Homo-oligomer: A and B are copies of this chain.
């Protein structure tokens, strides 16, 4: 099981954004250069972050993005949800009554994977952007 770049980049970019400025907008170009992430790809990611009210945008020269919430209220869960980085351990569909084996009952390891999923999600729920930037704020270069 692995983390995809989309989720990794989203968190990276938001940490960068939060560290560098909390009032003035930060352009994706700057983030792209500092973190070495493709600008085009960042645009796709920020489009989703914006739809989920995690950031807001300011167009035009000197524009960019700003956090739309207090860093303490932005959990990794929220970020991952926004960019569709899902934690999926069970094979079966959650809504379905059927197990992944096509039978009426859940498979013999279903509960295990469910437990694992909760274990992982608890990590994401407890970690906020604020936790990640503590003592690491920087001033604009």
* Partner-binding segment picked from A55-63, A66-74, A119-127: A119-127
Cα distance A120–B86 in the bound complex, in angstroms:
15
Q: Which of A1-36 contact B (CB under 8 A)?
A: 1-5, 7-8, 11-12, 15-16, 19, 35-36
Question: Nearest CB to that of A99 among chain B residues?
Answer: B36
A119 pairs with B123, CB closer than 8 A:
yes
Question: Nearest CB to that of A88 among chain B residues?
Answer: B2
CB < 8 Å: which of B2, B12, B86, B87 contacts A108? B12
Residues of B within 8 A of A3 (CB): 1, 88-89, 113, 116
Q: Which of A86-115 contact B (CB under 8 A)?
A: 86-89, 91, 101-103, 107-109, 112-113
Tell me if A130 counts as interface (CB < 8 A to partner B). Answer: no
A contact residues, range: 35 or more
CB < 8 Å: which of B4, B7, B35, B120 contacts A120? B120
A1 to chain B, nearest CB (A): 5
Question: Nearest CB to that of A91 among chain B residues?
Answer: B8
Tell me if A42 counts as interface (CB < 8 A to partner B). Answer: no
Q: Identify the interface centre among A16, A112, A136: most chain B CB within 10 Å of its CB.
A: A112
